[in-house]
Amino acid sequence: MESSADIRAALIIPALNEEPVIGRTLASVPAGLFAQIIVADNGSTDRTAEIARSCGAIVLSTPEPGYGSACLRAIESLSGDIEAVVFMQADSSEDPREAILLLQPIADGQADLVIGSRTLGNVEPGALLAHQRFGNALATLMMRLLFRHSFSDLGPFRAIRRSALMALDMREPRYGWTVEMQVKALRRKLRVIEVPVSYKRRAAGENKISGNLVNSAKAGATILYTVLRNAV
Ligand SMILES: Nc1nc2c(ncn2[C@@H]2O[C@H](COP(=O)(O)OP(=O)(O)OP(=O)(O)O)[C@@H](O)[C@H]2O)c(=O)[nH]1
Ligand SMILES: [Mg+2]
């Protein structure tokens, strides 16, 4: 696998209390692939920020809670020459070497948004739970009915052209963020593709969303509401 794309890219990693794993996640990012690596923290009470800094990442914190708020803050701080952004989890579920697969279609001028699809890729047993698959299936069905476009996943590992990202005017402060990006991209008729990515169980640390049924239900409701709200 090649380790550099023909585009100047930044990596944004939203992270909340990921002390046991953020170091290994950052260490596995191929050298030279990203011009900027930003860990988007908000309110970690452990050593996430300190470890991320010691690994050479820029750490940004926002007092506003939420996955989306952290990502928004990171976007505001992108340096002027960045042409594309990759979003990735902090927990080593994804393989950062595969970021090149997400970036290349953008570099080649073939896509504006590239979703890393876990359901098309290699999923470690137990990494995608039944309720996650169900939520994904429901949200992608809604998008298929509303926009006649078939996504296979809402995977958080994804790349987007910077100009497209700015045009989307992202607003969702919490877990509606990923699906907001997909719905708005369809509404704006951006060139959207999917590539298969591999997906593993988190390497260590605590789950914030899918491991807890109440949090999953809340995230699921936010996601479905976000699809509907941005569709009209
Ligand atoms: N900054 C920030 N990051 C968050 C927040 N909630 C989750 N994250 C990060 O978003 C990513 C996804 O959260 P996870 O806890 O891994 O959720 P999940 O992938 O459904 O659950 P696992 O299967 O355990 O990985 C991780 O990198 C988290 O650290 C938040 O409120 N703020
Ligand atoms: Mg995770």
* Closest ligand by atom to 210 CA: 1
Atom 11 of ligand 1: nearest residue by CA position: 89
Structural domain boundaries in the chain: 9-127+152-173+188-205
d(CA 165, CA 144): 22
Average pLDDT over residues 102-120: 97
Name the 3-class secondary structure at 11. strand
Q: Is the pLDDT of residue 216 over 90?
A: no
pLDDT at 212: 79
Fold (CATH) for 9-127+152-173+188-205: Spore Coat Polysaccharide Biosynthesis Protein SpsA; Chain A (3.90.550)
Strands 58-61 and 84-87 turn out to be unpaired
How would you classify the pairing of strands 192-196 and 113-117?
parallel
Q: Find the farthest-apart pair of alpha carbons in the chain and give their distance in angstroms, rounded.
A: 46
CA 149 to chain centre: 20
Amino acid 74: pLDDT: 97
Q: Report which of residues 215 and 56 the model is more confident about.
A: 56
Residues whose beta carbon lies within 6 Å of some atom of ligand 1 = 14-16, 18, 40-42, 65-67, 70, 89-91, 93, 202, 207-211
Q: What is the CA radius of gyration of the chain?
A: 16
Q: What atom in ligand 1 is closest to the CA of residue 205?
A: 24
Distance between Cα 214 and ligand 2 center (Å): 16
Residue 3 — very low, low, confident or very high, per pLDDT cuts 50/70/90?
low
**Among 168, 143, 157, which residue's Cα sits nearest to residue 93?**
157
Provide mean pLDDT across the span 204-221. 85
Contact 216/133 with Cβ under 8 angstroms?
Answer: no
